[in-house]
Structures are given as C-alpha cells and as structure tokens.
Amino acid sequence: MRFLWNLALQVVITGIAFYITFTYVPRLSLHNSYGEPWQTYLLTAIAWAAVNSVIAPVLRRISRPLSFLTLGLFSVVLNAALLFLSVIAVQMVGVGISIHSWTAAAIGLWVLSTVTWLLGVLTRPLRYAR
C-alpha cells in the first residue's frame, strides 16, 4: 500500500513540476486538450513516469561509455531526448506540447528536476508516514 501512495505522490509532484516548468520556461508550451488543466498536467506526469521507468534505464545503460568519455555531459543530451520521447508519448493521447529548441528542453529539464527535487524534499515526511 505504501508503494501506491509513494507512486501517487510522485506523480502529483511531477505534475506540479510540469505546471511550473511549462508556465515559466519560454519556448515550452502545453495546450490543454482535456476539460481541466490539471488533467493535462497529470497525464503528462504519467507519461513522463512511464518513459523514465521503461526507456530511460536502457538508454542510460547503453550510453554509459559515452557519458563517461564526456564526463557526464552526455546525460544532459540524453535527458533532453527523453523529454522529447515523453512529448511524443503525450501527443499520441491528444495533449499538445510544443518544445521549440534543444536549449528550451535543457532549461526545462533543469527547472523540472530542480522543482521535483525541492518538492520531493518538502514531502519526504509524507513518504514515510503510516
């Protein structure tokens, strides 16, 4: 039961992080195609979680030598590519997301990871509560 609580909490945190990212980062836009905007952000967070749990570990394992040679800088490119993959996954279900450049994707990923980390730290007591 704790696993489901932590998963739901992580999806909500990621949805809030997507809201902040798409609101404040220029050249990133999310077009609401469902009834309420929170549904769009929740669906985007679920797609992000699916891409990061299924595809990301395989790509990170394959690109480990290249990341080693570039002293970890290739991980930024890989994370931007994973963001583009999650955009494609979300667009397949009817949500319109526009990322206009790789720079916007990299800045968006930095904001997304920072906000997700900060919200994760703030909600850490909820993860271990009974």
pLDDT at 129: 61
Helix (H, G, I), strand (E, B) or coil at 101: coil
User: Comparing C-alpha atoms, which of 79, 9, 3, 75 is closest to residue 42?
Assistant: 9
Does pLDDT of 130 surpass 80? no
Per-residue CA distances from 13 to 46, 59, 72, 92, 130 (Å): 11, 24, 26, 23, 19
What confidence category does residue 115 fall into, taking pLDDT thresholds of 50, 70 and 90?
Answer: very high
What pLDDT does 114 receive? 94
Which residue bears the tokens 């404040």? 24
Quick one: pLDDT at residue 118?
95
Q: What is the predicted pLDDT for the residue at 88? A: 86
Percentages of the chain per state (helix, strand, coil), in multiples of 5? 75, 5, 20
Q: Is the pLDDT of residue 128 over 80?
A: no
Spans of all domains in the chain? 2-127
pLDDT in tens, 39-67: 888 888 888 888 888 898 999 999 999 99
The residues that bridge with 30 in the sheet, in sequence order, are 97
